[in-house]
Chain A
Amino acid sequence: NAGVTQTPKFQVLKTGQSMTLQCAQDMNHNSMYWYRQDPGMGLRLIYYSASEGTTDKGEVPNGYNVSRLNKREFSLRLESAAPSQTSVYFCASSEAAGDRNEKLFFGSGTQLSVL
């Protein structure tokens, strides 16, 4: 059972380059999320998609765009990468955002470095 799969695992970009992080889940979850994790910081929500066809900004959306391609897939795009976007990115999914007992399942993460 794959769970949440995200690619790539590692990426190095130059300032100004663009890239898309891919995420797919096979648990038939309605909600999907993108977080970033920086040293000394808790996970911070970038964007989420409560259900197919909807996306909403999280705590730190600037510099990112997302696409909920279908129920399974949720991608994160950096249009013009900046060194401040150097981070570890995690995709996650849950059965339903807003559910009091919402439990997240995470992908294995993408280590992104922007030079």
Chain B
Amino acid sequence: RKEVEQDPGPFNVPEGATVAFNCTYSNSASQSFFWYRQDCRKEPKLLMSVYSSGNEDGRFTAQLNRASQYISLLIRDSKLSDSATYLCVVNSDGGSQGNLIFGKGTKLSVKP
């Protein structure tokens, strides 16, 4: 099954660039959405939740498009430290337990 799909990349961008990732999901009943960040050989860590109205946290902006069933993550003014894999996570049914679906991730490499 391909419930959550991401472009695996890699996205190779220079420092200071703006980069955007999309993630599509198949279940129109999905209720909540997240972006996690995973550094090489490390555990995933929550980057930000994605709200219906869109939300921003510093250089990071997340948006949700329910009609087209995708979420996006925009990173402005990329830093070397942003290099990581970004995981899209969808809770397919807010009423079900243990139903978080992870995408395979999009790899970002920021170069000097």
Tell whether A and B belong to one assembly. Answer: yes
What residues make up the interface of A, taking CB atoms closer than 8 Å to B?
Answer: 31, 33, 35, 40-45, 48, 50, 56, 58, 90, 97-109
Verify if B81 is at the interface (C-beta below 8 Å from A).
Answer: no
Give how many B residues have a beta carbon under 8 Å from the other chain's beta carbons. Answer: 26
Min C-beta distance of B99 to chain A, whole Å: 8
Q: Which residues of A contact B36 (CB under 8 A)?
A: 104
Q: A100 to B41: give the CA distance in the assembly, Å.
A: 28
Query: How many Å lie between the Cα of A31 and that of B43 in the bound state?
Result: 18
In the bound complex, residues from chain B placing their C-beta under 8 Å from that of A109 are: 41-43
Q: What is the distance, in angstroms, from A59's C-beta to the closest C-beta of chain B?
A: 9
CA A33 to CA B42, docked complex, whole Å: 17
CB A56 to nearest CB in B, in angstroms, measures 6
Residue of B nearest to A56 (CB): B98
Stretch from B10-18, B58-66, B87-95 forming part of the interface with A: B87-95
B86 within 8 A of A: no
B97 touches A50 (CB 8 A): yes
Structural contact, A58 and B49, CB atoms closer than 8 A:
no
Residues in A neighbouring B100, C-beta threshold 8 A: 45, 102, 104
Bound state CA distance, A56 and B98, in angstroms? 9
Contacts of B72 in A (CB 8 A): none
CB distance from B107 to the nearest CB of A (A): 12
**Complex CA distance for A108 and B40, rounded to whole angstroms:** 12
CA distance A15 to B46 in the complex (A): 35
Asked if B25 lies at the interface with its beta carbon under 8 angstroms from chain A, I say no
